[in-house]
Structure formats: structure tokens, C-alpha cells
Amino acid sequence: MSSTISQATASPLVAACLAGDLLTMPPLLLEFKDSHPRSEQNETIFLLLAEATKNKHITLVGYLLNQTENTDYSKDLIFQAMCAGPDMVMLYLVKNPDIWKFEWLGSGNLLASALRQNQVELLTYLLEIVGADPGRSMESPRMAQIFFPLEWVAYSSTEDYARLLIKYGAMVKGTYALQMAAGSNRSKIGMVRLLMEAGADINSMPDFDDIFLGYGYNYIETALHCAAKTGTEEVVALLMEYGADSTKLDGRGYTAIELAEIHGRFELADLIRSYKTNASC
């Protein structure tokens, strides 16, 4: 706590804060405000907010947020709110919706956090009320500075989350979402179908921009290339039925059949050949 703040006066406030004592806090804070300039009032309230947030005293945080007009919250404070849970985050969002834009290295923003932690209420609030960007353009925020939210969801989450992101404008075309779903070894056939019905180009090969990755990315592939390496028979069959081009070369010059054989997925290579044979009959 700042040396300009009287420890004798501040200590009861801190004690009430640590205890989550909403009954004692108002008269103590009123007394403090009456005897200290506004700059010290705001500083003290923010220090109390940090303690109350860290200790998950959500009712006390709500009270303290209403005691100052200053909404210039730090990234550290919002990170503490994230750790305290989605209800705590929403208290801060009501006061300053722009905090959704804060990004933490390796973690992304609040939307990314809500996705990773399956916080559907917070995710919906961010998209519907705050207007957070779910990946509407190539300049949109990325998760861990690499993946668009829909790309991450396509591989790691559920169709419900994908529908929600798409509903609020997440791009499907031009992203790697279909490849991420097709390359999963967990048979994400529902996700693959959803993305194709939402407009994903089955034979496109989006190229990651090195500026986002920080290193060269050489795997420029179609969804079929990805499925042939690490996907499932169900997904390969679905892609072929939707018109995947098995003759198309990836960024290194391989067809899907060649990739399947390189990775020991001979059953997938045979499956792709069977569709080629049937198509030529």
C-alpha cells in the first residue's frame, strides 16, 4: 500500500476487505473518503478491489466497484478476476466492456479464457452484450497469437461453441477450422459437417501468416490431407462424399493418399482410392 496512505486508517479497511465484511466496509470507507483526497481514495479502492477479487469476495467487489468512477482497471486486476471465476469477470465487464481486449501472453483474451474453461454464460455475454470479436476478420485477436477461436474450437471443443461463434460472425472461409476438425483423431464428424454447411471450402489450403506464428509453418493442406494423416475413416468418407479432391497436392507436394501411407494409415489410403475408383466408373 502506498506510503501516502495512513496505515492506521487503512488497516481496518484491509481487515474488513480480507474478511469480506460488507457490513463494516461502508462506514470505514466513508470515514476514509472524508479525510483523504480523491487521488488517495481511488488508489485505496483499487487496492481493496485487488484483495477482494483475489479472495473471491464477489459481493464486496460489486460494492467497491460502485465506489469509484475510475474504470481504468489493470491487466493484473482482470487476471485476478479471471482466476476468481466468470461471475467476477462479468462484474468488471459491466463497468468497462473494453477489458475483453486485454491479452495475456500465451493465453489470449477473455473470450479465449471463456472458451478454454467452458464458461458458456461468460462467452455468451462477451459475444452478445459486449460485442467481443470471435474472429470476424484476418486482423481479429487470436488465441495464444496463433489460432482463431473457431479453429481452436474445431479441434478442442464442441459443436455448440462453434455454432455460437459462427452466429456472432466468426469467419469460416479462409481459416484452418475445417482442417483442425478433420485432423482430429476423435472422429469429429459432426464438427466437420457443421463447418462445411457453414461455408467452409473443402479444398482450400489457407496459409498461416508467419507474423502471427513467429516461425515458419510448412503444412499448407486441405482438410483431406489432415484427415489422411491423423483423422478417422468416418471423416475421410464424409470429405470424399462432399467432393474432396484427392489429387490435390499439399504445400510439400504430397497427395492425401501419399500422406496416409507415409503415416501408416493404409486403411485410409485404401478408402480414398475406393472413392476415386467409384468416381471413375
- Please write the tens of the pLDDT for every residue from 184-204: 988 899 999 999 999 999 999
Q: What is the mean pLDDT of the chain?
A: 90
Domain that holds residue 14: 1-70
Is residue 128 pLDDT above 80, yes or no? yes
Q: Which whole-number Å values give the CA distances from 138 to 102, 176, 188, 218, in the listed order? A: 18, 12, 25, 19
- At 276 the pLDDT is 72
Task: Judge contact between 178 and 212, C-beta under 8 A.
Answer: no
| 105 part of a folded domain | no
Last residue of one domain, picked from the residues 12, 42, 70: 70
In sequence order, what are the beta bridge partners of 143? 147
Average pLDDT on 95-111 reads 92
**In this model, does residue 253 exceed pLDDT 80?**
yes
pLDDT at position 39 is 85
Question: Are 106 and 81 contacting, i.e. CB atoms less than 8 angstroms apart?
Answer: no
Q: Which of 18, 44, 70 is the last residue of a domain?
A: 70
- 106 in any annotated domain: no
For 36, other C-beta atoms within 10 Å of its C-beta total: 18
Helices 233-241 & 266-280 angle (0-180, nearest 10):
20
Has residue 279 been placed in a domain?
yes
Residues sharing a CB contact under 8 Å with residue 45, sequence separation 6 or more, in sequence order: 29, 64, 67, 68, 70
Compute the average pLDDT of residues 225-250: 96
Q: What is the pLDDT of residue 278?
A: 63
1 is a domain residue: yes
CA distance 155 to 172: 14
Report pLDDT for 10.
59
Could you report the per-residue pLDDT of 139-174, keeping only the tens digit for each?
Answer: 999 887 788 999 999 999 999 999 999 999 999 998
In a domain, 153, yes or no: no
The answer to whether position 54 is within a domain reads yes
- DSSP secondary structure letter of residue 26: H
In a domain, 189, yes or no: yes
Per-residue pLDDT for 126 more than 90? yes
Q: What is the pLDDT of residue 280?
A: 55
Q: Tell me if 77 is assigned to some domain.
A: no
What is the widest separation between alpha-carbon atoms in the chain? 90
Q: Looking at this protein, which amino acid is placed at residue 89?
A: V
- What is the number of domains present in the chain? 2
Question: Pick from 21, 38, 70: which residue ends a domain?
Answer: 70
Q: Do residues 150 and 165 touch, judged by C-beta distance below 8 A?
A: yes
pLDDT band at 177; cut points 50, 70, 90 = very high
pTM of the full predicted structure? 0.85
